[in-house]
Structure 1
Amino acid sequence: MNAPASHPPLSGTKLLLGTVALSLATFMNVLDTTIANVSIPAISGDLGVSSSQGTWVITSFAVANAIAVPLTGWLTQRFGQVRLFITSVLLFVLASLLCGLAPNLEMLIAFRVLQGAVAGPMIPLSQALLLSSYPPAKSGMALAMWSMTTMVAPVIGPILGGWLSDNVSWPWIFYINVPFGLLAAWATWRIYQDRDSPTRQLPIDKIGLVLLVLWVGALQIMLDKGKELDWFNSGEIVALGLVALVSFVLFLVWELTEAHPVVDLSLFTRRNFVTGTLTLSVAYSLFFGGILIIPLWLQTQMGYTATLAGLTAAPVGILALLLSPVIGKLLPRLDARAIASVSFVVLATVSFMRAGFTTGADNFTVMLPQIVLGAGMATLFLPLTAILLSGLHPSRIPAASGLSNFCRITAGAFGASIATTVWEDRTTLHHAQLVEQITPFHPAATQARDGLMGAGLSPEQSLATLDRLVTGQAGVLAANEYFWLSGFLFLTLLALVWLARPQARVAVGPGADH
């Protein structure tokens, strides 16, 4: 492949507008992965389906998006970075509009599949275009601007989705993308239209594409439905697991021998790409599992409303926003492995703080780890992204970014499924163990029951109240166990990240390795 034309970095107003436009598109994309989560009851009720059926609104987007993200490198070579990015944004706007207009669940799911598929290239290409806009010495600042949007959007998504569903109507969680998407596409075209990457006519790797759709689709559906169907006690889950495993093995064999593979697996021969991607994926899976358990615990055990739980989680963005530009400035002068190590210590500390929660924890106690977590996020994504992209030729950055984001997203899905399953299973176990202590011969249990009956509750009401108290205690014990384990696993990543070679630049231009 010929080296791409070299474009000088942007400056002044163009650099500012380009950064805003690309960040806005990224924000819109990431926001849409979480904004529908709290709106499922409203969507299900309005369309006349059950909540479990309504969750396919989330699953369908995730499956299509997971399949499309690793295709970014191949699509970029075929159509060019700028054309592909703007087309992706415009199709995302169209799909969002169609989602809001969907008259039934079947149409909504179909449009969410379309939305997830066309959204795939947006995040990797926004990263690649942003890096090309800044000089190599300021690549850390470029990554800082990019990561700020990816960190804040998941926090704002549930809050905004809940407010729109409660105060306007659920279609507006999709309509809100239209004006922002059109603005981002227009601004990007005005600034980047003359900076597109060269293209070449590549044959379509049909077999590789089919195998990718098979194994990613089967894996994502298995992860989403596993808890509901009791995992491998279900024939459906076993079948999905086998399809995912067999098609994944065939996919690897085919892509490694194909002349024009749909996914560039040769990136895994690069030490820093492997180390950075693996470390980021493991860290993200633990991080994602934690931010999923906390609101579940608050709403199911602590009596928080969805809005209050979202607001309690919101302070995570404070330090993330404040520190990201600072880390971006320091990144070219410091060892990225050292910055990532700071992140793992902070994330482990947050986990250990959460492991001390009790059923009597007040709102500030729950919120404090969220504030500290922002520092861990600011020092996590930036250095690890810099490590995995380091030394790559600019033409390979879209493929590398797409593949690493795919690994991170898939790890997040694993983390979510494992975290919620472990938490619910351990809650059930602790509940059974605690209930064994509630006998007529246990002084504390007898005293609590008598106190409730003395307050005017019937024997049945007293037992129901005791059961709720036991369930709450079981839930917090299970959460504590998860966070103790997460804390120690974060600390093990300290050894993994130092396997990467030190790098001074993210992309060093035409002289970089191919």
Structure 2
Amino acid sequence: MTTQLPPSVPAPLTGARFALGAIAVALATFMNVLDSSIANVAVPTISGNLGVSVDEGTWVITLFAAANAISIPLTGWLTQRIGQVRLFTGAILLFVLSSWLCGLSPTLPILLGARVLQGAAAGPLVPLSQALLLTTFPKEKSSSALSLWAMTATVGPIAGPALGGWITDSYSWSWIFYINVPVGLFAAAVVWFLYRDRETATHRLPIDKVGLLSLIAWVAALQILLDKGKDLDWFNSPVICLLAVFAAVAFVFFLIWELTEQRPIVDLRLFAGRNFLGGTVAISVAYGIFFANLVLLPQWMQEFLGYRSVDAGLVTAPLGIFAVVLAPIMGRIMPKSDPRVLATLAFIGFALVFLMRSNYTTGVDAHTLVVPTLLQGIPTALFFVPLTAIILSGLSPEKIPAAAGLSNFVRVFAGAVGTSLLSTGWSNRTIMHHARLMEQATPYNPVFLDSITSLERSLHVSADRAVAFFETKLTAQAAMLGLNDIFWLSAVTFIAIIPLIWVTKPGKGAGAGAAAAGH
């Protein structure tokens, strides 16, 4: 056992130290959240510069999310072994190093390796930033600490796409990663200076190595399967079949081991509670759809509408406006409200937004793109806090850290899986619509022949060039119809998972209290 520190709670920071500490911790959170979305609009540019397809480029997003998901359950164990402050500072510095490596990457495999390291380093940042903020603020102002954290976390969707687009268009995609270096170094230096004498007690606890390795095995195999399935024609490929079998066997082994291990790395017994089960499944499915659409929308705008990266970022940026404005209000209404009602309203709001988008056309204007994105900020503000309250409601204090870690793991991994599934679904629906539209493009269809003739005359090109131009327009139309299908499916799914919320029974006032305790 290492040096045992007194169990007393450190006094809150005051004056300039308080302001500087809150800013530094918030910056670390902002850097993490920003990096989960800043690459979204840059994927087409990164893919082009590295000589790979956009589908392969989405690995930049999904592998970060998968590595992040795997590292989250380790936060509790690492905190007890290393200490809260040392772990938080070390995670920031590792995040800075991996960001620098991302910017230097000359090939996709090297970039993906750096993104995996970056995602792993990001895992402890979110839960530890919440914990450090709570020690920075006086106990009676803990709700203000959580509001600051929520506002910082939701600024990412505002700044990420717009900032990423501007940097990509004005400089180079590498700089979307390089900007983390000065921010991270400043945050790490301030946190270490202010908090190093407030370190938590450490213990030499054994780690569930078998559970960790099996977790990595099935998550990695499943993620590769989802990302490469489309390129390899799914289960017609022996590689995909082998990955599916390996992932299934590793997952079953993981379940059996964790349910029988005395000190499991992931406490699966928490799923026996109806609040935890219903809330975790609901928030994970919802987040998977939410995050996947944040990836697909800017891709479509750049590939088929001709938007620059910065323009696509500006169109998606309004998502965070209502989320930031409503965050402090949520802190006040949560203790007086049934979290199930708020979560239900959020899901209905998401469904309405996606229904609005399901009627897009290839001639859609910027205003029609921005309005649903702006309105989506309202259900986003109603989304996380009530469902977190439901998940943690009724749990004893000693189980809340494990429950928060597990629910975050499932949610973040669902974001990676959702991106892969909806990306594949969009591609498949685009192919189907393309085939149906091409059925009409035959020499025996007078309408098609008239269209080609009209293009020849208006564009002053040959028949072959006119046919190629027609094919480009038809592909864009097929992609639009395919994406509309994804939007419609997203809306239906949000309505379909509402019953999961009402399976839960959070006690009156317990939800908000649990959420606060969990944070």
TM (norm. structure 1) is: 0.88
Unaligned runs of 5+ residues in structure 1 are none
Pairwise CA distance, 1:368: 0.8
- Quote the Cα distance in structure 2 between the aligned partners of 1:352 and 1:38: 23
Partner of 2:509: 504
1:276–1:497 CA contact under 8 A, matched in 2: yes
2:336 to 333, 337, 340: 333
Partner of 2:461: 457
The range that moved more, 453-462 or 251-260, is 453-462
Residues 56 and 383 from structure 1, CA distance in 2 versus in 1: closer, same or farther, beyond 3 angstroms? closer
2:230 to 188, 208, 227: 227
Please tell me the residue identity of whatever aligns with 2:309: A
Please tell me the residue identity of whatever aligns with 1:504: G
2:255 to 252, 257, 264: 252
The range that moved more, 436-445 or 350-359, is 436-445
2:41–2:298 CA contact under 8 A, matched in 1: no
Partner of 2:316: 313
1:37–1:158 CA contact under 8 A, matched in 2: yes
- Quote the Cα distance in structure 1 between the aligned partners of 2:297 and 2:44: 20
1:130–1:142 CA contact under 8 A, matched in 2: yes
1:471 to 471, 475, 482: 475
Residues 228 and 344 from structure 1, CA distance in 2 versus in 1: closer, same or farther, beyond 3 angstroms? same
Please tell me the residue identity of whatever aligns with 1:461: R
Please tell me the residue identity of whatever aligns with 1:470: L
Q: Secondary structure at the match of 1:263?
A: coil
The range that moved more, 259-268 or 239-248, is 259-268
- Quote the Cα distance in structure 2 between the aligned partners of 1:322 and 1:29: 21
- Quote the Cα distance in structure 1 between the aligned partners of 2:281 and 2:253: 22
Partner of 2:219: 216
- Quote the Cα distance in structure 2 between the aligned partners of 1:419 and 1:53: 14
Q: How many residues align?
A: 510
1:117 to 105, 111, 120: 120
Summarize deviations over 1:283-321 as a string: whole Å, max 9, x none. Answer: 111212322332232222222222222211111121111
Q: Secondary structure at the match of 2:266?
A: coil
- Quote the Cα distance in structure 1 between the aligned partners of 2:201 and 2:131: 14
Alignment of 1:84-163 (within 5 A): 84-101=87-104, 108-131=111-134, 141-163=144-166
Residues 195 and 505 from structure 1, CA distance in 2 versus in 1: closer, same or farther, beyond 3 angstroms? farther
- Quote the Cα distance in structure 1 between the aligned partners of 2:349 and 2:50: 44
Matching of residue 491 in structure 1 with residue 491 in structure 2:
no
Alignment of 1:249-328 (within 5 A): 249-328=252-331
Matching of residue 422 in structure 1 with residue 425 in structure 2:
yes
Pairwise CA distance, 1:250: 0.8
Summarize deviations over 1:234-269 as a string: whole Å, max 9, x none. Answer: 222222222221111111111111122222223323
Please tell me the residue identity of whatever aligns with 2:96: V
Pairwise CA distance, 1:475: 2.1
- Quote the Cα distance in structure 2 between the aligned partners of 1:266 and 1:309: 43
Summarize deviations over 1:20-59 as a string: whole Å, max 9, x none. Answer: 3322111111222333455556667777888777666555
- Quote the Cα distance in structure 1 between the aligned partners of 2:134 and 2:73: 19
- Quote the Cα distance in structure 2 between the aligned partners of 1:233 and 1:13: 63
Pairwise CA distance, 1:329: 2.2
Please tell me the residue identity of whatever aligns with 1:370: T
Matching of residue 173 in structure 1 with residue 171 in structure 2:
no
Pairwise CA distance, 1:144: 3.5
The range that moved more, 470-479 or 193-202, is 193-202
Unaligned runs of 5+ residues in structure 2 are none
Identity of aligned residues (%): 52
2:130–2:149 CA contact under 8 A, matched in 1: yes
- Quote the Cα distance in structure 2 between the aligned partners of 1:454 and 1:237: 49
The range that moved more, 326-335 or 499-508, is 499-508
2:377 to 353, 374, 377: 374
Summarize deviations over 1:221-244 as a string: whole Å, max 9, x none. Answer: 222222222222222222222222
Matching of residue 480 in structure 1 with residue 487 in structure 2:
no
The range that moved more, 106-115 or 447-456, is 106-115
Query: What root-mean-square deviation, in Å, do the aligned CA atoms of Structure 1 and Structure 2 show?
Result: 3.2
Please tell me the residue identity of whatever aligns with 1:330: I
Please tell me the residue identity of whatever aligns with 2:29: T
2:275–2:390 CA contact under 8 A, matched in 1: yes
Residues 342 and 58 from structure 1, CA distance in 2 versus in 1: closer, same or farther, beyond 3 angstroms? closer
Residues 188 and 334 from structure 1, CA distance in 2 versus in 1: closer, same or farther, beyond 3 angstroms? farther
Partner of 2:403: 400
Matching of residue 30 in structure 1 with residue 33 in structure 2:
yes
Q: Secondary structure at the match of 1:331?
A: helix
- Quote the Cα distance in structure 1 between the aligned partners of 2:115 and 2:293: 26
Pairwise CA distance, 1:104: 6.4
- Quote the Cα distance in structure 2 between the aligned partners of 1:307 and 1:398: 39
- Quote the Cα distance in structure 2 between the aligned partners of 1:407 and 1:471: 36
Pairwise CA distance, 1:348: 0.7
Summarize deviations over 1:208-233 as a string: whole Å, max 9, x none. Answer: 12111211221222222222222222
Pairwise CA distance, 1:453: 2.9
2:44–2:299 CA contact under 8 A, matched in 1: no
